[in-house]
């Protein structure tokens, strides 16, 4: 499980493990209920053996700086908050170092689940 978050400040950060051809890594993803899709930094995907440039599918996304196209990359496996998703696709996007996270955990990860973000206790629960 994830440690509690500080409900008085900043982003809700979730530890997520991502598997690829080169192994696995634990990423810091911002839980983002405003993101319809999960996004992972291109550099992290490349380090795990994925090549976003070869992804046949590109999705139009709207960011704070405009409209862009991002490759949709199918993952071997992504696990977070006690859930595992196999053959789960994420959008590859370059995030600025100032973001302080490796990506965004979007609504697509939580489909068919009950997501509770408890700001009193600083806990995220998925059931």
2 domain residue, yes or no: no
Is residue 5 a part of any domain in this protein? no
The answer to whether the beta carbons of residues 36 and 47 sit under 8 Å apart is no
Task: Classify residue 125 by burial, with Cβ atoms within 10 Å: 0-12, 13-18, 19+.
Answer: middle
CA distance 26 to 119: 24
| C-alpha pair distances (Å), 62 with each of 7, 35, 36, 46 | 27, 10, 11, 23
The domain in which residue 57 lies consists of 13-126
**122: CATH:** 2.40.70.10
Indicate whether 19 belongs to any domain: yes
pLDDT tens series, the chain, 127 aa: 567 899 988 899 999 999 999 999 999 999 999 999 999 999 999 999 999 999 989 999 887 778 889 999 999 999 999 999 999 999 999 988 888 999 999 999 999 999 999 999 999 999 9
Domain count, the chain: 1
- The reply to whether 4 falls in a domain is no
């Amino acid at each position: 499980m994830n440690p509690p978050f500080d409900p008085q400040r900043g982003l809700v950060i979730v530890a997520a493990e991502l598997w690829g051809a080169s192994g696995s890594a634990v990423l810091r993803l911002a839980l983002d209920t405003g993101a319809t899709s999960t996004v992972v930094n291109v550099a992290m995907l490349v380090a795990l053996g994925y090549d976003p440039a070869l992804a046949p599918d590109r999705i139009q996304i709207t960011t704070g700086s405009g409209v862009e196209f991002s490759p949709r990359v199918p993952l071997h496996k992504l696990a977070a908050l006690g859930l595992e998703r196999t053959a789960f696709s994420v959008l590859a996007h370059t995030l600025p170092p100032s973001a302080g996270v490796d990506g965004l955990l979007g609504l697509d990860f939580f489909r068919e689940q009950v997501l509770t973000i408890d700001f009193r206790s600083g806990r995220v629960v998925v059931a």
